[in-house]
Amino acid sequence: MQQEVEQVLNKVRPALEADGGGIELVEVTEDGLVRVRLTGACGGCPMSQMTLSQLVERALKEELDGVTGVEAVL
C-alpha cells in the first residue's frame, strides 16, 4: 500500500510545491493511517492542517480503499 500512497502523493505535490512546500511519506500503518512530514513552507504554515485534510487526506481516501486518515509528524 505504501507504493500506492506514494503515487497519490505525487499527484498533490505540485500544488504544495507551488507554495514553496513539500510532503514526505513517513509510514502507512496496518490500520490504514498515513503518516507524512510536511516540509518547506508547509512545515510551519498555520494552514497546514487544512491542507492536510482538504488536499492530501481527501485525495488519498478518494483514490485508495483502506486509508483511514492522515497525520502529520515532525
What pLDDT digit, counting tens, does each position of 4-20 carry? 999 999 999 999 999 89
pLDDT tier, 74 (very low <50, low <70, confident <90, very high otherwise) = confident
- Residue 22, domain CATH: 3.30.300.130
* Structural domain range at position 54: 2-72
pLDDT recorded at residue 24? 97
- Asked whether the beta carbons of 24 and 60 are under 8 A apart, the reply is no
Kindly state the cell numbers that stand for 14.
Answer: 505540485
Cα angle, residue 4 at apex, residues 55 and 56 outer, rounded to 5°: 10
Question: What is the average pLDDT score of the chain?
Answer: 95
Strand, helix or coil for residue 39: strand
pLDDT tier, 65 (very low <50, low <70, confident <90, very high otherwise) = very high
Counting the structural domains of the chain, the total is 1
Kindly state the cell numbers that stand for 64.
Answer: 485508495
